[in-house]
Amino acid sequence: MIVLPNPINDSSVRLKRHPLAELAARLAPRHGYNPTALRGVRILRNEAVLQDIPVLYNPGAVFVLQGRKQGLLDGDIFLYDEDHYLAVSVPVPFRMESVASPERPLIAVYVEFDMQMASEIAVQLETHAELASDKPRGLVSSRMAPDIEDVLLRLLTALGRPAEVAVLGDDILRELHYRVLIGPQGGAMIAALRQRGSAANLIHSLTWLRDNYGSEISVDALAREAGMSVPSYHVHFKGLTGSSPMQYVKALRLHEARLMIARQSTTIADIAASVGYASPAQFSRDFKRHFGRTASEETKWVRHHLGSVD
């Protein structure tokens, strides 16, 4: 098991980061996710201790400015707190816990990557910089660096000023993409973005699954398309995502269904069918097993802890 070190007890560093948390807190007055003026940037405010929560993030990064989160994936622990941020190369389901209280709420900035922008930056980096080669990894936890803190400070400041975010917001967000991609996890993220090397076919496979999770899935067909035997495909798939192919598909289906249920968009039977379940009863069993709550209970939980999911 890989465990990152506990947060350092450096009062000067804490004091330096305090303005980041204050700026973000002003932009997140409501409990749960707060949208911002920039597409793909949300700020989470949470006041409760959460344990063993199934999550699935899209590619991007999570910056916890106050409080602590940690993820558990296939026996590894990924810490993202006031001293570490989490980078996500490909959507991977994992379990999360967080520490917060009403007196000291968790404040976190979620940045979902603009994949076209990230790919363009990756191409430029490959042309102009020498980056350490790495294999794609779904999750990477890295220590917060001064250049990341600096761009976050400018991003949060701009988000509080309508004219500034309109003029500079996209450029600051592009720089944040760049800073993440040249960080310690950059090689792993660029390998996933560029879809090159031995893992290219596997990344293509994950992309196809993300777009077609509601269809009938054949692992044999996926392995053939990736140019691998079924046993080899299983090994490489689990190495990247921490799950078997069908466990991954099930998690994708259930997380998408959870969003639909929270939006109360249609009936449970219709939602089950739309994400690939032939049996509503089987869907309900799998949903409760995965989230620990029935669909109706989960709707209340999501709205209480995460706010609007629109």
**Amino acid 198: pLDDT:** 59
Tally the domains of the chain: 2
180 and 50 co-located in one domain: yes
**pLDDT range class, residue 3, cuts 50, 70, 90:** very low
| Tens-place pLDDT, residues 169-218 | 999 999 999 999 988 878 778 877 776 655 778 888 888 998 999 999 99
**Amino acid 17: pLDDT:** 53
138 and 208 co-located in one domain: no
% of the chain exceeding 90 in pLDDT = 60
**Amino acid 218: pLDDT:** 93
For residue 103, the 8-state DSSP code is: S
174-197 burial: b if 16+ Cβ within 10 Å, else e: bbbbbbbbbbebbbbbbbbbbbee
Contact 50, 97 (CB under 8 A): yes
3-state secondary structure of 44: strand
* Alpha carbon distance 29, 46 (integer Å): 11
Residue 66 has pLDDT above 70, yes or no: yes
Average pLDDT of the segment spanning 34-43: 95
| Tens-place pLDDT, residues 242-280 | 899 999 999 999 999 998 888 876 888 999 999 999 999
**pLDDT range class, residue 78, cuts 50, 70, 90:** very high
Per the domain annotation, does 4 fall within a domain? no
**Long-range contacts formed by 279-285: CB under 8 A, 24+ apart:** 283/257
Average pLDDT of the segment spanning 12-29: 78
Q: Give the residue from 25, 136, 146 showing the smallest Cα distance to 90.
A: 136
Per the domain annotation, does 30 fall within a domain? yes
Residue 53 has pLDDT above 60, yes or no: yes
**Amino acid 26: pLDDT:** 96
**Amino acid 134: pLDDT:** 65
Contact 186, 180 (CB under 8 A): yes
Phi, psi of 52 (to 5 degrees): 55, 50
Q: Give the residue from 183, 170, 176, 62 showing the smallest Cα distance to 132.
A: 183
* Beta bridge partner(s), residue 32: 45
Per the domain annotation, does 66 fall within a domain? yes
Residue 7 has pLDDT above 80, yes or no: no
**Amino acid 132: pLDDT:** 59
Per the domain annotation, does 17 fall within a domain? yes
215-239 burial: b if 16+ Cβ within 10 Å, else e: eebeeeebbeebebeeeebbebbee
**Rounded CA Rg of the chain:** 20
**pLDDT range class, residue 5, cuts 50, 70, 90:** very low
59 and 94 co-located in one domain: yes
Better pLDDT: 147 or 188: 147
210 and 150 co-located in one domain: no
For residue 249, the 8-state DSSP code is: H
Contact 199, 146 (CB under 8 A): no
3-state SS record for 189-220 = HHHHHHCCHHHHHHHHHHHHHHHHCCCCCCHH
Give the C-alpha distances (Å, rounded to integers) separating 90 from 139, 209, 276, 283, 308: 8, 12, 21, 25, 24
15 and 72 co-located in one domain: yes
Average pLDDT of the segment spanning 101-125: 91
- Measure the N-to-C terminal CA separation of the chain; round to a whole number of Å: 36
Per the domain annotation, does 310 fall within a domain? no
Better pLDDT: 239 or 20: 20
* Alpha carbon distance 68, 240 (integer Å): 25
Write down the mean pLDDT value for the chain: 87
Residue 295 has pLDDT above 90, yes or no: no
Average pLDDT of the segment spanning 28-32: 92
Residue 303 has pLDDT above 90, yes or no: no
CATH code where residue 240 lies = 1.10.10.60
Q: Identify the domain containing residue 272 by its residue range.
A: 197-305
* Alpha carbon distance 129, 125 (integer Å): 5
Residue 99 has pLDDT above 60, yes or no: yes
286 and 144 co-located in one domain: no
Asked which of 174, 193, 212 is the last residue of a domain, the reply is 193
| Tens-place pLDDT, residues 130-144 | 665 567 778 889 999
165 and 204 co-located in one domain: no
**Amino acid 75: pLDDT:** 86
CATH code where residue 157 lies = 2.60.120
222 and 153 co-located in one domain: no
* Alpha carbon distance 283, 227 (integer Å): 32
